[in-house]
Structure 1
């Protein structure tokens, strides 16, 4: 099982949900704020080590940070006409509601 660009969005959602700053989470994961920002914005894929650290930091099962390929195919088929920025905004809004 490998991480996907959605892993970064999930880390960002957990960070927002837990009212953590980029600095707090980056320190907890042992990475720079810049690298965390790239991960959260889907520009870099986190390593297995970072996913494991994020799982521990947020006290969630590692599997919740990783999407299965079938889910990604289904999303691709259903959102082909939606702009990715709209999806990111939707994810951020949902994270803030929890």
Structure 2
């Protein structure tokens, strides 16, 4: 697993935790890991074991495959980031999120 994949899995964990309004303590307890280990995962410094990924999939009610990000999606986002200003990217994501929450 390369560093980008490791970061993406960590960001996925953090995004799911935040989207589900859970604290690091709550998630760590549900996954039977320490808060420190969860922090290392969320910051892309550690790769979660398959057991932890399986538990997270159950906790967040998603498929295990959801933790895999396609390289084409990353390529598309990289292209967007290269072509747009940070303000435009943030605006686009905020709009998308606001539509999803309705």
Structure 1 length-normalised TM: 0.69
C-alpha distance in 2 between matches for 1:50 and 1:63: 13
Aligned residues: 90
C-alpha distance in 2 between matches for 1:69 and 1:59: 23
The answer to whether the Cα contact below 8 Å between 1:4 and 1:67 also exists between their aligned partners in 2 is no
- Return structure 1 stretches of 4+ with deviation > 6 angstroms: none
Which runs of no fewer than 5 residues in structure 2 stay unpaired?
A: none
The answer to whether the Cα contact below 8 Å between 1:4 and 1:66 also exists between their aligned partners in 2 is no
* Aligned residue number for residue 61 of structure 1: 63
Give the one of 22, 25, 35 matched to 1:23: 25
RCO greater where, 1 or 2, for CA within 8 Å and sep 6 or more?
Answer: 1
Cα distance, 1:68 vs structure 2: 3.0
* Aligned residue number for residue 52 of structure 2: 50
Question: Are residues 56 and 72 of structure 1, via their aligned partners in 2, closer, same or farther at CA, if it must alter by over 3 Å?
Answer: same
Any residues of structure 2 matched to 1:1-40 within 5 Å, and which?
Answer: 4-40=6-42
Structure ID, larger Rg: 2
Is the helix fraction higher in 1 or 2? 2
Structure 2 length-normalised TM: 0.66
